[in-house]
Amino acid sequence: MFQNKTYASEIKADLVEEGCISLYLCEDCGFVWNGSFDSEKLNYDSEYQNEQSNSMVFMEHLASVKQIIEEQNSKNSYLFEIGCGKGTFLNLLHNSGYYKLTGFDPAYEGNAPFVHKCYYPPEETVPLQK
């Protein structure tokens, strides 16, 4: 079900539930998707780890994206990141102090008030940063 889960033992890893894959291709746009995908089987728990911020190359990439955002958005803009992971990029933006940020990710592990540990769209209203 996941490519980014780590397990304490090989035995625990062998017991993981598997999913089905049925790949489909849109011949007009080239998009490929799994027609058998079942979101009910997803469980973003403490074994899910997709953090990439230990890579200096990835952090350089985030810095370049931050620069693009700064060049194309005015200060005090509202910025949303859907699927923000551990919030690394949002925290990078937050440290600049320029933006009103909101992030969404069920795998989020921090305590930033502008990141919501849920899917987007959320099932209930969430506050925006002021």
Tokens 């937050």 appear where?
94
Q: Domain coordinates of the chain in residue numbers? A: 1-49, 56-116
Residue 41 and residue 16 in contact, taking contact as beta carbons nearer than 8 Å: no
Higher pLDDT pick, 126 / 67: 67
Asked whether 105 and 117 are in contact (CB, 8 A), the reply is: yes
pLDDT of residue 92: 94
What percent of the chain has pLDDT above 70?
Answer: 98
pLDDT, residue 5, reads: 86
Residue 22's alpha-carbon distances to 41, 43, 98, in angstroms, are 16, 21, 44
Read off the DSSP letter of residue 39. G
Task: Read off the pLDDT band of 71 (50, 70, 90).
Answer: very high
Task: Note the pLDDT tens digit of each residue in 21-70.
Answer: 999 999 999 999 999 998 888 887 878 888 888 899 999 999 999 999 99
User: What whole-number distance in Å separates Cα of residue 77 and Cα of residue 99?
Assistant: 5
**Mean pLDDT, residues 91-96:** 92
User: Considering the chain, what is the average pLDDT of its residues?
Assistant: 89
